[in-house]
Amino acid sequence: MKQLSARRGRPKDSALIERRRDSILAAASRIFAAKGYPDTDIQEIADRSGVAKGTVYLYFSSKEELFLATVDRAMRSLSERISAATEAIEDPIDRLEMGVKTYFAHFRENPAHAELLIIERAEYRDRKTPTYIEHKRVNCTRWEPIYESLIEMGRIRQMPVDRIIRVTSDLMYGTMFTDHFLEKKRTPEEQATDVLDVVFHGILTPAECRRRKLRGA
Contacts of 208 (CB under 8 A, 6+ apart): none
| Residue 22, C-beta contacts closer than 8 angstroms, at least 6 positions apart | 73
Dihedral of the CA atoms 185, 84, 100, 183 (nearest 10)? 20
Distance CA 122, CA 67 (A): 13
Residue 13's pLDDT is what? 79
Q: pLDDT value at position 214?
A: 87
pLDDT value at residue 6: 46
For 56-72, write each residue's pLDDT tens digit. 999 999 999 999 999 99
- Convert the pLDDT of each residue in 119-138 to its tens digit: 999 999 888 889 999 999 88
Residue-number span of the structural domain to which 44 is assigned: 13-61
For residues 81 and 52, state if they share a domain: no
In-domain check, residue 152: yes
Total structural domains within the chain:
2
Q: Identify whether residues 162 and 90 lie together within a single domain.
A: yes
All residue ranges of the chain with pLDDT < 70 are 1-12, 217
State the CATH number of the domain containing residue 194.
Answer: 1.10.357.10
The enclosing domain of 57 has a CATH number of 1.10.10.60
Q: Looking at the structure, do residues 91 and 193 belong to the same domain, yes or no?
A: yes
Please tell me the predicted confidence (pLDDT) of residue 7.
47
Coil/strand/helix, residue 15: helix
